[in-house]
């Protein structure tokens, strides 16, 4: 099956895959197989079907070499992202220190719009501006914002703290040049998915006491702690796209020395003070090894008195925001994130919401999808 898939041109694979996911739900359920229930959750039929296709073709998020892994994510972009989202204009930029970036402007968005500075996922090793082009277009179009996507340096060629340094440089540049970019310098959000979510948090913490700070934080299934194995990592260690072995593979290249991993710039969950973060929307996937650390981070943010929305998409898997071209669940979850970004920035126009302290015990039965603080 793998050799057959490799012999079919990528654009034809994409067409066949989209046709498969356009079939009626009962047919997709039949093709996906017996429903998967784990930890009180039902795996979304489209997520299950995609995982079955992945298993049949033998593709993995990480590979035997960095080169193969990067090639895999580039190929996957066309397969799962769907047709290019229009109308969105783009402009490639080169930021200080030769950091590549791409600016997205949806439709005829006027000057003075909000701006999202976005850091792509990929375990700090794979992924780039192109691999997340569709997601940035999606957020720009559906949130009504300009998006600046940053191509930070990757490991193992440039291990920690290279990515951290690049993201901080990019945010400071964006804040200084916002008007020239057509954006409102007072309405800048930070966001990212997976490893990019980590870098968004780390950047926000580093500028928390500065004059230029983000007014909102958009986090999609972020990795926030490289020191502890939690229950979700054991439950979803294999078979749900991001694997336990894959997480080790990425971290060994990004931060080879385990003694460095407690650094809050690697593991922001361990930061002593999170009160400087802006209002936050954090989405997790139910069948994701990173689920529990992301949700614990949301609790810690709430305990610090920061308004935060935590949303668990129970039936979905890691990476769902890059899969909007397949099925309804992936797209609906990412639309919710875009709506949260739009709302958070609209609130940001009127200043930061009032903070209040939150008792940790009150969060034990938190209502998923509601404000924690």
- For the beta carbon of residue 281, count every other beta carbon within 10 angstroms: 25
The residues, any chain, with a CB within 8 Å of residue 248's CB and separated by 6 or more, are none
13 three-state secondary structure: helix
Given the residues 46, 288, 292, 322, the one annotated as active site: 288
Q: What would the DSSP string read from start to end of 68-97?
A: HHHHHHHHHHHHHH-SPPSSEEEEEEEEGG
Element at 317 (helix H, strand E): strand 308-317
The Cα–Cα gap between 182 and 331 comes to: 28
- For the beta carbon of residue 357, count every other beta carbon within 10 angstroms: 9
Angle between helices 10-21 and 45-57 (to 10 degrees): 150
161: cis peptide before it, omega within 30°? yes
369's tokens: 């999808």
The Cα–Cα gap between 72 and 77 comes to: 9
Active site residue 288: yes
Active site residue 111: no
In the chain, where does DSSP find H-type helix? 2-7, 10-21, 25-32, 45-57, 66-81, 133-143, 162-177, 195-206, 231-235, 244-254, 291-303, 328-348
Given the residues 113, 131, 149, 194, the one annotated as active site: 194
The Cα–Cα gap between 52 and 45 comes to: 10
51 three-state secondary structure: helix
Active site residue 328: no
> CA nearest 223: which of 279, 265, 258?
265
Given the residues 166, 292, 318, 322, the one annotated as active site: 318
**Positions marked catalytic:** 194, 288, 318
């Amino acid at each position: 099956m793998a050799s057959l898939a490799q012999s079919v041109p990528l654009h034809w694979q994409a067409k066949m895959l989209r046709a498969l996911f356009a079939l009626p739900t009962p047919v997709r359920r039949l093709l996906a197989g017996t429903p998967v229930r784990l930890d009180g959750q039902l795996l979304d039929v489209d997520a299950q079907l995609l995982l079955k296709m992945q298993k049949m073709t033998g593709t993995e998020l990480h590979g035997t070499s960095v080169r193969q892994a990067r090639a895999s994510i580039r190929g996957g972009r066309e397969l799962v992202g769907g047709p290019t989202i229009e109308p969105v204009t783009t402009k490639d930029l080169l930021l200080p220190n030769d950091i590549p970036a791409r600016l997205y402007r949806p439709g005829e968005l006027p000057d003075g719009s909000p701006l999202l500075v976005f850091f792509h996922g990929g375990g700090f090793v794979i992924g780039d501006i192109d691999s997340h082009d569709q997601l940035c277009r999606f957020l720009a179009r559906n949130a009504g914002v300009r998006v600046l996507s940053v191509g930070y340096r990757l490991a193992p060629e440039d291990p920690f703290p290279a990515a951290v340094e690049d993201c901080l440089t990019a945010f400071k540049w964006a804040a200084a040049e916002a008007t020239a970019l057509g954006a409102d310098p007072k309405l800048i959000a930070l966001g990212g998915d997976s490893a990019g979510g980590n870098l968004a948090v780390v950047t926000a913490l580093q500028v928390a006491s500065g004059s230029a700070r983000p007014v909102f934080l958009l986090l999609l299934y972020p990795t926030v702690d490289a020191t502890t194995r939690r229950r979700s990592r054991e439950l979803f260690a294999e078979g749900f796209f991001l694997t336990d072995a894959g997480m080790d593979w990425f971290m060994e290249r990004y931060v080879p020395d385990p003694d460095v991993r407690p650094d809050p710039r690697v593991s922001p969950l361990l930061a002593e003070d999170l009160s400087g973060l802006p209002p936050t929307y954090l989405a997790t996937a139910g069948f994701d090894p990173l689920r529990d650390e992301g949700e614990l981070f949301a609790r810690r943010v709430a305990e610090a008195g920061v308004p935060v929305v935590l949303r668990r998409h129970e039936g979905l898997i890691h990476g769902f925001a890059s899969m909007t071209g397949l099925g309804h669940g992936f797209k609906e979850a990412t639309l919710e994130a875009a709506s949260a970004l739009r709302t958070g920035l609209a609130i940001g126009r009127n200043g930061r919401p009032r903070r209040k302290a939150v008792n940790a015990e009150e969060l034990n039965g938190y209502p998923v999808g509601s404000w924690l603080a």
